[in-house]
Amino acid sequence: MSKNIGSQTISTLLYHLIFLGLGLVLAMIIPQPSLSAEKIRFIYGPFHCSLSVDSLETYSQTGQITPEFRFYTQFFDSKTLAQLRHWLQKRFYSNQIELYHYTRTPEGKQLLQQLGTVFKTHSARNGFYALRAALLQASSNDQGWTILDVIHQFPTEQIQINTGDLFKIPKFWSEPAPLANHQL
């Protein structure tokens, strides 16, 4: 009888190990949602405020200003808000491989370093690598990519934007952005 109990224990153990193994295999092959930016945190000196990416996306798609976004719209005129919506909807077309190579050139690295001082992963961390990863991931879409696509690919839950440094990048504001216009 004890031989029967030992056999049942081994069968039960094997049964559980098989299901555990199947569960682990399924967990490895089923795609898991990746981390992406859900909030944009604006920093201007000692002032910090946040806006959800969903509010920006709603504004881009429908023109509707959510209650959360309404706070920010009071600082802009209707022309500026229309331009914001235009840039959020604008599609950029670039070959992912060529864009990858461009981001590794001295000019591409310099641009990403400058942009990384504005768009950060943490308050003291340049967003260079996060921007490059998000841009390259977003550019994999054959239908083109938008700024919101890049935000969705940003590999942290929050993008910190240092608004004071934003206007210190004269090349960014005076010329078409090389990354956005990298038509290949």
pLDDT in tens, 81-127: 999 899 899 999 888 898 999 999 999 999 899 889 889 988 778 99
Both tokens assigned to 100: 């990858």
In this prediction, residue 31 carries a pLDDT of 42
pLDDT band at 27 (very low <50, low <70, confident <90, very high): very low
| CA–CA distance, 57 with 44 (Å, rounded to integer) | 23
Whether 48 has a pLDDT exceeding 80, the answer reads: yes
Query: CA-to-CA distance for 60 and 88, rounded, in angstroms?
Result: 6
Give, in order, the Cα–Cα distances in Å from 26 to each of 1, 17, 20, 34. Answer: 38, 14, 10, 17
Q: Tell me what the pLDDT averaged over the chain comes to.
A: 78
Residue 25 neighbours by CB distance under 10 Å:
10
Q: What is the torsion angle, in degrees rounded to the nearest 10, for the CA atoms of residue 109, residue 111, residue 112 and residue 115? A: 160
Q: Work out the pLDDT band at 142, boundaries 50, 70, 90.
A: confident
CA distances from 168 to 36, 40, 147, 159, 163 (A): 27, 20, 20, 19, 9
3-state secondary structure of 84: helix
- Non-local (6+) Cβ contacts of 142 within 8 A are none
Amino acid code (one letter) for 134: A
What's the pLDDT score for residue 44?
Answer: 79
pLDDT of residue 25: 41
Q: Which of 22-36, 52-66, 71-85, 106-120 has the lowest mean pLDDT?
A: 22-36
